[in-house]
């Protein structure tokens, strides 16, 4: 089994990720080269970028899927829902893409100042939609707390760490915290959160080796392959 990447910005022209069909196909080719066999296209859905609803995203997903039909990689649609008012409204109205039409919703916190308590906020979202995967908690100063991560897990919230955090590309605080929560067995997935071909590529290979070396092969296989297999079943 190859890598399953549950978080990328390969759907073109809709956010700060891929900007063209050509770029999307190049990103898919790079992912294949680095050992990925299954990949989720999860455009942002938030106040500031765009509300990438199913009506807007499905035709582009179909176009990319058709153009990539001969490539040895399976494509799935999703969204990365930001914790904000627009996303909340869409979740309430079911006007967004879950991951591959499963019950799972990928969500992230704002990078600008967040007002409120992260746990209370996610519990509120869970009332609307029970199955939540939180993207890159290691990247936000206000979620870099081991006790908060334990509370998330106890509430049944799944955690996804970025591959680039594990290799130190988002700074040592993100790197250290990502490894700490893996060591504590709190993480469920590692994904690329790919935005381009250069500094944020769709590559899980390097991070897989890092996790294998530091946390063992079984953990690496769980985080990069096995746990996500339930989303593509
Ligand atoms: Fe993302």
Distance from residue 215's CA to the centre of ligand 1 (Å) = 24
Up-side HSE of residue 85: CA atoms within 13 Å toward CB? 2
CA distance 123 to 132: 10
**3-231 has which CATH code?**
3.20.20.140
Question: Cα(15) to centroid of ligand 1, in Å?
Answer: 10
CB 83 within 8 Å of CB 59: no
Confidence at residue 113, expressed as pLDDT on a 0 to 100 scale: 76
96 CA distance to ligand 1 centroid (A)?
A: 15
Exposure of 220 in the CB half-sphere (CA atoms within 13 A): 19
Show pLDDT as tens, one digit a residue, over the chain (233 residues).
899 999 999 999 999 999 999 999 999 999 999 999 999 999 999 988 889 999 999 999 999 999 999 999 999 999 999 999 999 999 999 999 999 999 999 999 998 878 889 999 999 999 999 999 999 999 999 999 999 999 999 999 999 999 999 999 999 999 999 999 999 999 999 999 999 999 999 999 999 999 999 999 999 999 999 999 999 97
Which pLDDT value is given to residue 50? 87
Q: Hey, is 159 helix, strand or coil?
A: strand
Q: How far is the CA of 199 from the centre of ligand 1 (A)?
A: 14
User: Measured in angstroms, how far is the CA atom of residue 8 from the centroid of ligand 1?
Assistant: 6
The rounded Å distance from CA 107 to ligand 1 centre is 9
Three state DSSP letters for 186-208: CCCEEECCECCCCCCCCCCHHHH
Q: Which region, left, alpha or beta, applies to residue 199 given φ > 0 means left and ψ of -120 to 50 means alpha?
A: alpha
CB-CB contact of 122 with 157 (8 Å): yes
The per-residue pLDDT for 101 is 97
Alpha carbon of 48 to those of 16, 82, 151: distances in Å?
11, 10, 29
The pLDDT of residue 227: 98
The phi and psi torsions of 104 (rounded to 5 degrees) equal -85, 130
Joined together, the tokens standing for residue 202 give 């769709």
Give the strand order in the sheet containing 189-191.
Answer: 44-45, 80-82, 105-108, 132-135, 158-162, 189-191
CA 178 to chain centre: 14
Which has the closest alpha carbon to 196: 164, 161, 152, 157? 164
């Amino acid at each position: 089994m190859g890598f399953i990447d549950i978080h990328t910005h390969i759907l073109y022209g809709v956010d700060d990720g891929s900007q063209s069909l050509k770029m999307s196909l190049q990103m898919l080719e790079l992912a294949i080269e680095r050992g990925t066999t299954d990949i989720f296209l999860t455009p942002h859905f938030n106040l500031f970028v765009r509300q990438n609803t199913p009506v807007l995203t499905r035709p582009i997903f179909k176009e990319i899927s058709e153009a990539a039909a001969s490539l040895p990689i399976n494509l799935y649609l999703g969204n990365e829902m930001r914790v904000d008012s627009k996303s909340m409204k869409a979740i309430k109205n079911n006007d967004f893409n879950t991951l591959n039409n499963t019950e799972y919703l990928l969500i992230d916190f704002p990078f600008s100042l967040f007002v409120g308590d992260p746990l209370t906020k996610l519990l509120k979202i869970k009332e609307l939609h029970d199955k939540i995967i939180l993207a890159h908690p290691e990247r936000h100063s206000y979620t870099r707390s081991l006790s908060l991560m334990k509370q998330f897990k106890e509430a049944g919230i799944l955690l996804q760490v970025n591959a680039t955090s594990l290799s130190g590309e988002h700074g040592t605080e993100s790197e250290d915290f990502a490894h700490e929560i893996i060591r504590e067995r709190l993480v469920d997935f590692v994904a690329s959160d790919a935005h381009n071909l250069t500094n944020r590529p769709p590559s899980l290979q390097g991070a897989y080796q890092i996790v294998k070396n530091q946390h063992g092969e079984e953990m690496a296989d769980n985080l990069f392959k096995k746990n996500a297999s339930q989303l593509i079943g």
